[in-house]
Each structure stands twice: as C-alpha cells, then as structure tokens.
Amino acid sequence: MNDFHPFGWYAAKISPHLPKKAFQPVRSRLLGGLAYLLVVTGGILAVSLFDFHPVWNLLISIVLGFSFAALGFLGHEILHGTVVKTPWLRDLLGALAFWPLCTGPKLWRKWHNATHHVHTQHEEKDPDAWPSMEQLAKSRLLRWVYRIPFPVRASFAFASLSVMFTVHSIRMLVLFWQDFRWKNRIVVLCQFLLPWTTWIGLLWLVGWEKWLFAFLLPLLVANMIVMGYISTNHRLNPLVPVNDPLANSLSVTVPKWVDVLHFHFSYHTEHHLFPAMSSKYYPLVKEQIKQMWPDRYHEMPMTKALAALWKTPRVYYEHNELIEPKQGHVYGTLGNGLDPDEIAPRRREEDAEASPATRKAKWKNASGAGKA
C-alpha cells in the first residue's frame, strides 16, 4: 500500500462518528489499578512472610507477573493523559503503575509518546523500529548476530522476550539521556533508580530464594506478556515514510476477558489513531475503521501474529519487505504480500537490488514529497 495518510487524516474522518465522552478522561480505570496494586502487595507479602511450597510460590509468581504487566498497560494509558489530565498526578500515578517494570514516567513520555508515536516505523527516527539492510551494513554486532542460523536466532529472540522490555528501557535511558536538560536528567535518573532501589532492598530483606518468587520471576513473566504485545504491534508491518497507522500498525485479537484485564492493549492501530483517547472506547474506533477502510486494516489473533514473527526475519529490505541476509530470502510485510497463513520466502533477485539513493527516491514518491 503506497497511498499513505497521516493519523490525523483518519482521526478527522472517524471523530464525528464517536460519542463526545470518548474524548474525556476515564478515571474509573484507576479502580482496576487499585485491584492490581492490592494483588501485587498481597502476593509479595505472602511470598516474603510465609514458607510456602515452591509450587505455590511459582503460582503466586505467575499471578504477580500478570499483574505487573497489567499495571504497565494501565501506566501506558495514564501517561497518555487518558485517565487523569493534571500533569503531576498523571506522572505520579504513571510512575506507580510502571514501578514493577522499573520505567520512569519522564523517560517513557519522551521515548514512547514524543518519539515512537510521532515517528512510528520510520527507518531512522523510531527508536522501536527494527533495522534495515543499510543499518545492518553499518553495525558489526548486527552482522555477527545475523550470521547465526535462523532457527537458532528465532528461538533466542523469543526467549529474550522475557527480558527485552527491561533491557530496551535501559537502552532508551542511554539513547535519550543527552536530550534532557541537566535539571531533567536528575529527575529521569531518580525515576529510574528508585524502583530498582526498592526491589534490591526487598532482596536484602527477604533473601535470594524469596526474592526470586516475589520479584525476579514475576518480572520475567511480565516482560514476556508485555513484549508479546509489543513485538506484534509493528514488527510485521513495513517501514513507512508517512506515519500511517493503518499501514504501520497491527491490532491483535485475544479472548475478551484478557482484553478487559489488559485494558484493551490489543487495539494497537486504534491507539495510534487516537493516543489521547481511553482504550475503553477503542472497540468503537475499530468498528469505524472496518466500515471505512476494511481493506487497509490489519488484525489477527495474537497466536497467529507470534507464529508469523517466528517464521520471518527482522531486517527490512526495500522498506516494505523483510530479508534473511545470509540466505537472501525475502518475505513480504502486512499489506505487501505477507500471508500469515502461508508464509513462504522468495529469492532476492540481483537486478532488484537498488542503490540507497533509489530507495530514498521511492520513499519520497510514496509519501507524496516527490510530487509536483
């Protein structure tokens, strides 16, 4: 799909069909946060104060991990201003919700709100986008990684989801550090260190064995759940020259009870169209998208999306395809020939290789910048 439109173009056409209350903060979401906070507090106290059998501790860890992830989803919503509008209260509640995931509100708003949402799936400007062939050629580390056989690399990539959100958060701290003024750097650093201080303090209080079940295993579970969504949000979509959510985003489907417990985080295309709207109303947005642009909208079951990720590489070729560099196998992306039900590569043709200047020109034409 080369007929791109910015998210505001879609939003302007959908907004008249939505109720006015959809554009107001939904404070009742905090009740869900309170419930999760009570579960987390009770679970940590149970593991710390009692000597349960490891099997029971493991079950508590899974519940804690699920709750850590759900609090992160709520924190994401809070920091978009869809729950409360008052800046200091938004940041305070967002910090509390993200506390288990050890991500501070100021860094998150810079990384996620101000950068990822503004430059979604842009080759150079989106900090969450995967590399292109040009970027691969410039990185010795990436070239080494992509020499590893594809099945081994895919297995490692899925296993790494259990730590990837935490690792990526630390990477974003380093990446955006210079963008903050000195006064704000102190705030960002404190927001990063305070959660880790409390969790390391818990380790000192309860010892390694109890800490494993009270925090470390739940953190791994939470990473896996959060990254299960994040890894499907855009990684099957093309890189794009225009921030078009119907081209660069994927909504996944999960059981309705999971949607409720995860604050409708699965509605990701809808979120990129209306980031300042509570996800409570995203089902209404989906109805309008599917009525107006049914051929452009991308959605699939979470399990199918994860399977498609397993079977495809994560390096972009010509922006709208994915390539396995070692074998030269090329795969389509959503809207560009990818069939999740029958994923099969094609062999890259030598005469299809274009210079970087040619690729940039194609991008300009696709965005309309090259038109008179």
pLDDT tops 90 at residue 100 = yes
Full DSSP string of 277-301: S-GGGHHHHHHHHHHH-TTT--EEE
Give mean pLDDT, residues 104-116. 97
Higher pLDDT, 131 or 75: 75
pLDDT tops 70 at residue 352 = no
pLDDT for position 71: 98
The string of pLDDT tens digits covering residues 145-179 is 888 888 898 899 899 999 999 999 999 999 999 99
Phi, psi of 371 (to 5 degrees): -90, 145
How many angstroms separate the CA atoms of 312 and 345, rounded? Answer: 9
Both tokens assigned to 135 = 């970027």
Look at the block and give the residue holding tokens 């509008």.
85
Angle between helices 182-206 and 29-49 (to 10 degrees): 40
Give mean pLDDT, residues 313-334. 90
pLDDT for position 2: 59
Question: What band does 369 get if pLDDT is binned at 50, 70 and 90?
Answer: very low
How many angstroms separate the CA atoms of 201 and 195, rounded? Answer: 10
How many angstroms separate the CA atoms of 268 and 279, rounded? Answer: 9
Percentage of residues in the chain having pLDDT higher than 70: 92
pLDDT tops 90 at residue 225 = yes
pLDDT for position 15: 97
pLDDT tops 50 at residue 363 = no
Both tokens assigned to 161 = 């989801």
Burial class (CB in 10 A: 0-12, 13-18, 19+), 90: buried
The string of pLDDT tens digits covering residues 238-267 is 999 999 999 999 999 999 999 999 999 999
pLDDT for position 31: 97
What count of residues does the chain have?
372
Q: Which of 63, 1, 2 is nearest to 368 (CA)?
A: 2
Look at the block and give the residue holding tokens 């007929």.
3
Higher pLDDT, 370 or 308: 308
pLDDT for position 358: 56
Instruction: Write out 149-205 in H/E/C secondary structure.
Output: CHHHHHHHHHHCHHHHHHHHHHHHHHHHHHHCCHHHHHHHHHHHHHHHHHHHHHHHH
pLDDT for position 349: 61
The string of pLDDT tens digits covering residues 282-293 is 999 999 999 999
pLDDT for position 366: 41
pLDDT tops 50 at residue 368 = no
Look at the block and give the residue holding tokens 């169209």.
273
pTM of the model: 0.90
Both tokens assigned to 177 = 């550090």
Percentage of residues in the chain having pLDDT higher than 90: 81
Both tokens assigned to 372 = 């008179």
pLDDT for position 356: 53
